[in-house]
Structure 1
């Protein structure tokens, strides 16, 4: 039984990056705050918080916030000025959800992420000849690598764009960036695959990519982090590499948004990759962001990225196998429907 007050627990969690409201947003819908007035209720509160944030239960019962020893090391990859401490909460939530999903996912991990051409071939095999968000995600799930969307983290929680974590010797890809564009999220997934294939996780239990989407920082040359350069190159190679760059480099610098969209569709058919990726490659090479973003909006096939990720999760995860106390959180944060 806990000897501390609920107020002490909530106050100490502020140092972990979570307000009282954000913590309560992670608790089950049936949780009654009146229970926090009794010792038994506080003990139950500690159990719930411990499970949802991967915190040491014994320490939490004493009012201390400490991650479990089994959580492993985390390497934060910075491309913007963000303190690692501000991402503790999002990382902890992602890790707890990943553990819940891995425990319920029987498909064994098949470590076949070796080279970019092989990954592209696997994606085309399951994607009717097309490399894109849906086919990359399906290839991951087929190899025993869950891909978890986290669009609904508590309001105000500072989140990363993507991450890859090792849970019970199995990599899990996390995508918490909110974008409707398939091309944006596909690059995040491909980048995390690059970390797996390049062996970066041998030196860290988790790699958290703080920001992969800044206009001036998409290309590998923008960071001095060797692992980020390798993951970027791997991701770009999955999507055609130098061949794509040669094609989009030849497009006129005065092309309109409609022309960019048309050229992307034409090239995508020949290359077997999603058209949105060519638009993004053109944007990063030409720096013509307004025209390129307008071109993406002309591509109806580049929309509904979040729905694609949720559908894949819903199809591959048997919620009945997820522990009872975590089912609601998995559904709430990922956005999938309860069974």
Structure 2
């Protein structure tokens, strides 16, 4: 049947795909380097195009009896957690791009015949003596849960703090915020893990967080129960059950960054409270962000992206990739 089918024009195809939310700018980034639009004029090229759209964007091509084609989104949940000032169209484009990256890595996991054991991961996470970014990222990769940092995010798109992608029973976590602080990125990561923990994606889909409220970027009216649960999971993990708000209230005014850093280190030794998170919590409570960010410099180097990159490079040796899939992943690193 495909041999007798005459494909429509390239413009008509791209218009129908755009109606599903995938603009030419998105397609340019998710199609392989070898792709050329003239391939759409052949039956075999159109078939390749449809497979790429289905695997990477969840868009399915349908051939109708009268010889026309249509595109439709496969059933999936797409949720946006955003501030009122965030441009919906730009965030939607970001979610589709993140979904393409996430689904591509999940395809690699299936190709390598590996599984994710979430119950075992959460048990290991609860047993970590020191919760830091490297330790949490290590635990995720050890259980075949990819954590990808998208560095080369298109400037025209909104750069979300974090995205969680689920395809059937497998997850990928994608971060893209430019924060270099490991403590800041750790909160975003734990927030996304909280979405996994509480099953906020009951099936295939995407949750994209434009910002995370506990970083001091209020979501205002967009804040919902899922965000509260994800935030609370992150806070509980970082604070180890310690009422740090009461501690902050009791210590009062701190003038020197080094003093705040030393206090954070003391709490880490005695109560296993993440020191960077304590400093950021003090900054938020006191509204003295300059002091908090100066104190962070005593506690950590701005190397969050290096941590993500290190684990990604290890994954390149751990898994076997198909050429087109690896090319897409590398394009965004």
Q: TM-score range by the shorter chain?
A: 0.7 to 0.9
The alignment status of 1:94 with 2:94, answered yes or no, reads no
Q: How does 1:2-21 map to 2 (within 5 A)?
A: 3-10=7-14, 20-21=24-25
Which consecutive unaligned segments of at least 5 residues does structure 2 have?
none
Deviation at 1:178, TM superposition (A): 2.0
Deviations 1:67-91 (A, max 9, x none): 234xx11222234433544323222
The alignment status of 1:54 with 2:58, answered yes or no, reads yes
Which residue matches 2:74?
68
Which stretch has the larger CA shift, 272-281 or 304-313?
A: 272-281
Decide whether aligned partners of structure 1 residues 265 and 208 sit closer, same or farther in structure 2, where only a CA change above 3 A counts. same
Decide whether aligned partners of structure 1 residues 50 and 318 sit closer, same or farther in structure 2, where only a CA change above 3 A counts. farther
Deviation at 1:12, TM superposition (A): 5.7
Structure 1 CA distance, aligned partners of 2:26 and 2:92? 13
Deviations 1:132-167 (A, max 9, x none): 111111222223322222222323122321122322
Decide whether aligned partners of structure 1 residues 236 and 109 sit closer, same or farther in structure 2, where only a CA change above 3 A counts. same
Decide whether aligned partners of structure 1 residues 317 and 99 sit closer, same or farther in structure 2, where only a CA change above 3 A counts. farther
Decide whether aligned partners of structure 1 residues 303 and 2 sit closer, same or farther in structure 2, where only a CA change above 3 A counts. farther
> Secondary structure, in 3 states, of the residue corresponding to 2:148?
strand
Assess if the C-alpha contact under 8 Å between 2:80 and 2:210 holds in 1: yes
RMSD over aligned Cα atoms: 3.5
Deviation at 1:282, TM superposition (A): 1.0
Q: How does 1:75-224 map to 2 (within 5 A)?
A: 75-82=79-86, 84-105=88-109, 106-112=113-119, 118=123, 120-122=125-127, 124=128, 129-202=129-202, 205-212=205-212, 216-217=216-217, 224=223
Structure 2 CA distance, aligned partners of 1:218 and 1:204? 28
TM-score of the aligned structures, taking structure 1 as reference length: 0.78
Paired residues, number: 322
Structure 2 CA distance, aligned partners of 1:86 and 1:316? 30
Assess if the C-alpha contact under 8 Å between 2:184 and 2:215 holds in 1: no
Structure 1 CA distance, aligned partners of 2:215 and 2:118? 32
Decide whether aligned partners of structure 1 residues 48 and 224 sit closer, same or farther in structure 2, where only a CA change above 3 A counts. closer
> Secondary structure, in 3 states, of the residue corresponding to 2:242?
helix
Decide whether aligned partners of structure 1 residues 190 and 222 sit closer, same or farther in structure 2, where only a CA change above 3 A counts. farther
The alignment status of 1:231 with 2:238, answered yes or no, reads no
Assess if the C-alpha contact under 8 Å between 2:149 and 2:308 holds in 1: yes
Structure 2 CA distance, aligned partners of 1:232 and 1:29? 39
> Secondary structure, in 3 states, of the residue corresponding to 1:152?
coil
TM-score of the aligned structures, taking structure 2 as reference length: 0.80
Structure 1 CA distance, aligned partners of 2:95 and 2:270? 39
